[in-house]
A and B are shown apart, each in its own frame.
Chain A
Amino acid sequence: MTTELSNPLALIAELTHRCPLHCVYCSNPVEMQSRSNELSTETWARVLEEAAAAGVLQADFTGGEPLARTDIIELVHAARAAGLYVNLITSGMPMDESKLAALVEAGLDHMQLSFQGAHEEIANEISGTKSHAHKLRVLEWLKQHRIAVTLNFVIHRRNIDQLEEMLAIAESSCATRIEFANVQYYGWAFANRENLLPTREQLEHSVEFLKREQERLKGKIRIEFVVPDYYAKYPKPCMGGWGRKLMLITPSGDALPCHAAQVIPGLTFENVKDRSLREIWEKSTAFQKFRGEAWMQEPCKTCDRREQDFGGCRCQALLLAGDAAATDPVCSLAPMRPKVDAILAGMNSPPPAEIFVKPNWLYRPNPS
């Protein structure tokens, strides 16, 4: 395995944890950051410059809801001025036609618009907010503008049977990419996991359907989907490897290798207010912690796949195995795989009837 350090390719700019939605699958940490600690416009502008200088190609503005920042137009400007490709990952909620026009004018390259379901009822249940109709309006407005549009449908047990209707929404829009993003279990999704996991039968049916539709729409709309990794044979190469390709900045300026890293005990994260982005990337102990192979346990240490998937996700290893250096328990070769199998067994063969009843959700609140 090469030990040379590559530069980061994308900067995930988590601008705020404020959001008008309360999605039960949100990957933000359960302990969210308060508005009063958010970085200023000037600091973000400097961070974006530093990112470009460090070799970053893309800025992903996300949150919470990035449009909750009143300076979002300036931030888009700043990212383009720094020479970055600009993504906005949004619910579309605090947006009207003139804000959309202003974003495009400022140089926004790509908008990823989230959908919680194929219709009002499920979308409102999952997001805890009346939001679906507004998103459809945003889809119409987008037809007037020349930016890339991706629709991100967040998939789980409560809406995995609506793929056909979701696809119909996408086909009548100007989107050229669709992500059917099965929920991954971090943050609020982890808290709501037993109500979100699809059954094996639901999943198999969805994969069959999506493979067919992917082929049908080839060259017209690009469909991407990944199964929840609890059901996979091998783990995902999380973030392209710890500290290899991606860097996330929290609303208060902490630099993390990924959005969930704060669950790992004993890690101290450096802040962009105190140190340059490049230095944090290259030298901070948090970023160094799981680079290379020295930290790996068996079977990862000698596994043929270790340069492909890096042993999976550190945060998931922490959440499921209690040890961030363990093999990601979703891996079929992991000593802790039986724990994941037990979770799945409890809801398959056959699925108990009660899992299809509308659950009592733990809704994500809006931080102060």
Chain B
Amino acid sequence: MPPDPNSFPRLAPGCRLNEKSQQPRMLLMPERALRLNGPSLEIIERCDGKHTVQQIIVDLQKIYSKAEPLKVEQDILGYLTLLQNQRALDFG
């Protein structure tokens, strides 16, 4: 089920970024780590409980203005769903 556009995604307890000084940037969680590239890092940084799903989509569409906006939206929704299923995100 795709996330509600008006919900506020937030990293789940025990799921965090590595230090800003550490490269590559990683999302660390129990028994798993995800390497974060440009778009995925932009998304995760906005999963702070203060951005709605819709705001994240709008922000990324601005940053990646050359990309097809619908594709950006679909990719973000897919990524957020994946992270929720791994229990790395909560939606408030």
Contacts and interface: CB of A to CB of B under 8 A. Distances in A.
A143 B1 CA distance: 27
A112 interface: yes
B30 A177 contact: yes
Nearest to A52: B22
Nearest to B29: A148
B22 A109 contact: no
Nearest to A222: B87
A219 B14 CA distance: 16
A218 B18 contact: no
Interface in A53-78: 57-58
B19 interface: yes
A148 B18 contact: no
A177 B19 CA distance: 24
Contact of B33 (A9, A177, A218): A9
B16 to A, nearest CB: 7
B41 interface: no
Interface in B35-92: 84-87
Given A109-B14, A110-B14, A149-B14, A218 B85 contact: yes
Contacts of A149: 13-14
B18 A83 contact: yes
A147 B18 contact: no
Interface of B is mostly: loop
A57 B28 contact: yes
Interface in A129-160: 145-150
Contact of B16 (A109, A218, A221, A222): A109
A114 interface: no
A87 B30 contact: yes
A234 B85 CA distance: 27
B30 A110 contact: yes
B3 to A, nearest CB: 9
Contacts of A83: 18-19, 22
Contacts of B1: 219
A25 to B, nearest CB: 20
Contacts of B31: 87, 150
B2 to A, nearest CB: 11
Nearest to A108: B14
Interface of A: 9, 57-58, 83, 85, 87, 109-110, 112, 145-150, 176-177, 218-219, 221-222
Closest 10 CB pairs of A and B: A148-B14, A85-B28, A176-B87, A146-B13, A110-B30, A110-B14, A222-B87, A147-B14, A109-B14, A148-B30
Given A148-B29, A150-B31, A219-B84, 16 more contacts: A57-B26, A57-B28, A58-B28, A85-B18, A87-B31, A109-B14, A109-B16, A109-B28, A110-B30, A148-B13, A149-B14, A176-B12, A176-B13, A219-B1, A222-B86, A222-B87
17 contacts: A9-B33, A57-B26, A57-B28, A83-B19, A83-B22, A85-B16, A85-B29, A85-B33, A109-B14, A109-B28, A145-B13, A149-B14, A150-B30, A176-B87, A177-B30, A219-B1, A221-B87
